[in-house]
Structure 1
Amino acid sequence: MSTAANGLSPHPIVQAPMAGGASCPPLVAAVCEAGGLGFLAGGYKTADGMYQEIKQVRALTRYRFGVNLFMPQTGYADPAAVEAYRGQLAGEASWYEISLAEEDIIGTSDDGYDAKLAILLEDPVPVVSFTFGCPDPTALAALRKAGTYTVVTVTSVEEARSAQQAGADAVCVQGVEAGGHQGTHRDDPQIDGTAAVGLLALVAQVREAVALPIIAAGGVMRGAQIAALLAAGAAAAQLGTAFLVCPESGADPVHKKALTDPLFVRTELTRAFSGRPARGLVNRFVREHGPYAPAAYPQVHHLTSGLRKAAAAAGDPQGMALFAGQGHRLARALPAAQLVEVLAAELAEAQNTLKDMQMRSAS
């Protein structure tokens, strides 16, 4: 089964919902217009802010699109550990001439989930995906009744089974190569990336464990990779970093430039910016603060928000959260529609090459 078979998009290409501004309405619409499935990121927005962006997308395209929600966080975060980290960031605050007031670490832990879900039930969109957990069966059933196709992000076989049991229509299987946050349902404070699984291996495991369609995500930058994932049993591939550098993307120009800057050659998982494992380019902030950042999401996210904004305003990539997948060096600064077309052509070429090889070997 593919996204095309489900009537979601002509090409098996999904633009990842990148929270923080990158997945803005112009990017989403451009991807949809070109035959891919564009996704708005509902995370880090108010419910009304999300709804206003939904209306913008509807004004820009008549094609199907998706909206991603963050699940509420219920895990325990040690206030003392967060406070200690605030103290460790004092030098950063002084450097960027901002204050880290205690209220900066309060924020909210549910990201306005209930209000956002209510909007999506009242005025449905074609697709809704979830990150950091799995909704309860009642919510998924309500969305299905409203005509919405639901996708749950998973990082393990166990999470995929939970999504299937809850009634999700599909799973987005996220490999360790993926940029940004690992969408684990439960944040293990001991996680350091060593227990995470690569995308191809995880797709194979999930395909044998559940009967749901698979959208594969993690380090995908070329059409040939999409072909490999489809051959492995995925219905589509989800790309984030590949679309991050598009002119329509709302990502900061400094972030876009850093993806192919020789100064940033590798990525790693770090809690430095949010308190949850997220893959990004290794810069000074990651090197200096990553080893000490506590497992406290979204408290650390709120704590570092001002620092990240100040670094961006100063044009300083060394203090920004430069989230990116392992394939970041392959980024192409093409208009989104052109990128979809190029990926689709590369996919077709790879599939034709494979067919030719199979025919030659059979003759």
Structure 2
Amino acid sequence: MWPATDLTEELGVRAPILQAPMWGGIATPELAAAVGEAGGVGALGTADMPSDRIADAVAAVRARTDAPLHLDLALAPPTGDGAPVARASAALHPFREELDLDAPDVSPEPEPPTLERQVEAVCGARPAVVSVTGGVPPETVLRTVRSTGALVLATATTVTEGIMLADTGLVDVIVAQGAEAGGPRATFAVPADHGLVGTLALVQGLRAAVRRPVIAAGGIMTGEAIRAALALGAVGVMMGTAFVAVDESGADGTYANAVKTARDDGTVVTRAFTGRPERVVRNRFVMEVADAPIADYPAQAALTAPIRRAAAERRMPELRALRAGQGAALARRVPVGDLMTALEAETGMA
């Protein structure tokens, strides 16, 4: 039996587990629904989704379950430090040549998704949970989300960021994104390489510094890790990489295999794929672009998109953005229900 926490009681769920809203099609409606049916809180990566597709994706989840659903919003990262687009594009020419691709047209430079439209679409779906990453959300955004009755989560990678979020008075729960976490880094108050605090240290620091519940995120792959987070005072955990290889995930076999075979030192934080820092499986693309000019987000994402698509189609993991955390090797290739059952047994806190 799962232990009851303030989070499980607030949301009316059995398991203190929130599935991370993974981007790039990994968090499918099937995955979100399966997590919900198994007692957790499933999620869709709506921050990475065109606003006009959110309603249909949510409907696909709700056709399968009436369990609480988690959607996300992301603030655009700061720009100005990236290389000129022309130089960044030239650095990618060898990959395009290898894949027989033309250079994409990124003039004018693409703009990040409009936050207002994302907020409108997410709030219109009336999820039980809305998480925000990438900074202190505008007060209007927080008040709009709260008006729907959703539980409002905001992500911190340092104690300072957690204090900034708590000081808004409009955030219900702080998500402690540890350095181990896969995917985009949520750091906003310090340089990205300064926001690499381990999950357990961050949970303890936030618990001591803010009068808000804390959710642990990053490197949580087993029931034993869940138990450790709860023992430190977290009200729950957010798990992403643990769900990448499950049957209901949108990750194909090549992606799942690359994640499962990654060593504990086999991931790295890089801006190579999108221009924003994210933890991915270390591969040839990451290594060869490490010292090359990299444009800001979203220009770099637009430049690499054709390469990433072609690599996925041709099953070339060495050129793909394989987002995963440091616990990647512990991912399990099983149905969600089996994973949740195993996690419950491993947690052993009944």
**TM-score normalised by length of structure 2:** 0.93
Q: Is the Cα–Cα contact under 8 Å of residues 82 and 275 in structure 2 kept in the other structure? A: no
Q: Is the Cα–Cα contact under 8 Å of residues 276 and 295 in structure 1 kept in the other structure? A: no
Q: How far did residue 294 of structure 1 move?
A: 3.0
Q: CA RMSD in A?
A: 2.0
Q: Distance between the aligned counterparts of 1:258 and 1:230, measured in 2?
A: 30
Q: Is the Cα–Cα contact under 8 Å of residues 20 and 43 in structure 1 kept in the other structure? A: no
| 1:285-316 CA distance string (max 9 Å, x none) | 01110233536222211211111011111110
Q: Distance between the aligned counterparts of 1:119 and 1:20, measured in 2?
A: 18
Any unmatched runs of 5+ in structure 1?
A: 353-363
Q: Is the Cα–Cα contact under 8 Å of residues 263 and 328 in structure 2 kept in the other structure? A: no
Q: Is the Cα–Cα contact under 8 Å of residues 161 and 189 in structure 2 kept in the other structure? A: no
Equivalent residue number for residue 61 of structure 1 = 65
Q: How far did residue 263 of structure 1 move?
A: 8.8
| 1:257-310 CA distance string (max 9 Å, x none) | 111237996111111111122111111001110233536222211211111011
Equivalent residue number for residue 27 of structure 1 = 31
What does 1:1-363 align with in structure 2 at a 5 Å threshold? 2-78=6-82, 80=84, 82-103=85-106, 106-109=109-112, 111-166=113-168, 167-185=170-188, 188=191, 191=192, 193=193, 196-261=196-261, 266-294=266-294, 296-348=296-348, 351=349
Tell me the amino acid that sits aligned with residue 121 of structure 1: C
Q: Give the match's secondary structure for 2:8.
A: coil
Q: How far did residue 11 of structure 1 move?
A: 0.6
Q: How far did residue 38 of structure 1 move?
A: 0.8
Q: Is the Cα–Cα contact under 8 Å of residues 245 and 334 in structure 2 kept in the other structure? A: yes
Q: Which stretch shows the higher mean deviation, 87-96 or 135-144?
A: 135-144
The number of equivalent residue pairs is 345
Cα 1:277–1:314, aligned 2, differ >3 Å: closer, same or farther? same
Q: Is the Cα–Cα contact under 8 Å of residues 223 and 343 in structure 1 kept in the other structure? A: yes
Cα 1:105–1:308, aligned 2, differ >3 Å: closer, same or farther? farther
Q: Distance between the aligned counterparts of 1:202 and 1:176, measured in 2?
A: 9
Q: Give the match's secondary structure for 1:103.
A: coil
Tell me the amino acid that sits aligned with residue 35 of structure 2: V
Q: Distance between the aligned counterparts of 1:64 and 1:176, measured in 2?
A: 28
Q: How far did residue 322 of structure 1 move?
A: 1.2
Q: Which stretch shows the higher mean deviation, 217-226 or 261-270?
A: 261-270
Q: Give the match's secondary structure for 1:138.
A: helix
Q: Distance between the aligned counterparts of 1:290 and 1:6, measured in 2?
A: 44
% identical aligned pairs: 35
Q: Is the Cα–Cα contact under 8 Å of residues 265 and 281 in structure 1 kept in the other structure? A: no
Q: Distance between the aligned counterparts of 2:214 and 2:261, measured in 1?
A: 33
Q: Distance between the aligned counterparts of 2:20 and 2:144, measured in 1?
A: 24
Q: How far did residue 254 of structure 1 move?
A: 1.1
Cα 1:18–1:165, aligned 2, differ >3 Å: closer, same or farther? same
Cα 1:264–1:35, aligned 2, differ >3 Å: closer, same or farther? closer
Q: Distance between the aligned counterparts of 2:195 and 2:76, measured in 1?
A: 24
Q: Is the Cα–Cα contact under 8 Å of residues 180 and 219 in structure 2 kept in the other structure? A: yes
Q: Is the Cα–Cα contact under 8 Å of residues 70 and 131 in structure 1 kept in the other structure? A: yes
Q: Distance between the aligned counterparts of 1:339 and 1:321, measured in 2?
A: 25
